Amino acid sequence: MSTRTVLHQADIARALTRISHEILESNKGPAGLVLLGIPTRGVTLAERIGALIADFAGAAVPVGSLDVTMYRDDLHRNPTRSPRPTQIPAGGIDGKVVVLVDDVLFSGRSIRAALDALQDIGRPAAVRLAALVDRGHRELPIRPDFVGKNLPSSREERVNVHLAEIDGVDEVTIAS
């Protein structure tokens, strides 16, 4: 198996900075925003984006996590998936612009599950999607609003996101 690095630490930092600016511009500021990361690495990315938005806009944006495990349509194929905590910020999501944050967008099934999970929590004014990597191969009509890197890949390849907080290094690799 060969592995190549396609994004390094500086590339990830640039992508997250751009995503943060695009979120602020799209929302016309930080008011009414809530960032929800999809575990595991989406939560870390949401926290980083939240910190960048706070730096740029001078106002904190609530950040939480949204576990989608029990909403997935592939549990019968991967029953060992263990749920992670869902943590909704104190102000909730009703009437807010919720930005779902994930590391890799592939088939779209995790995001479909996230949309189902959101319905059980509240009614946001709008839902947006930010992904560090969009690798294509969508099975559902889901498209990210904010993308760090479009990374065409084959279905046989595996895109791995490594983040310093979890893995000790910031990088995105493709294994074939």
Two tokens at 168? Answer: 């000790």
Q: What is the mean pLDDT of residues 82-88?
A: 86
Would you state the pLDDT for residue 73? 80
- 101 CB-contact burial (10 Å; exposed 0-12 / middle 13-18 / buried 19+): buried
Q: What is the mean pLDDT of residues 126-141?
A: 96
Task: Please give the mean pLDDT across all residues of the chain.
Answer: 94
Q: Is residue 134 over pLDDT 70?
A: yes
Mean pLDDT lowest among 26-40, 81-95, 100-114? 81-95
Would you state the pLDDT for residue 126? 98
Q: What tens digit of pLDDT does each residue of 46-83 get?
A: 999 999 999 999 999 999 999 999 898 876 676 666 78
Q: In angstroms, rounded to a whole number, what is the distance separating the alpha carbons of residues 67 and 83? A: 7
Q: In angstroms, rounded to a whole number, what is the distance separating the alpha carbons of residues 21 and 38? A: 20
Q: In angstroms, rounded to a whole number, what is the distance separating the alpha carbons of residues 124 and 122? A: 6
Q: What tens digit of pLDDT does each residue of 8-17 get?
A: 999 999 999 9
State the helix-helix crossing angle for 41-57 and 9-27, rounded to 10 degrees.
60
Q: What is the mean pLDDT of residues 31-41?
A: 97
Contacts for 54 with CB less than 8 Å, ≥ 6 apart = 30, 60, 61
Structural domains for the chain: 3-73+84-175 (3.40.50.2020)
Q: In angstroms, rounded to a whole number, what is the distance separating the alpha carbons of residues 101 and 111? A: 9
Q: Is residue 30 over pLDDT 80?
A: yes
Q: In angstroms, rounded to a whole number, what is the distance separating the alpha carbons of residues 83 and 18? A: 31
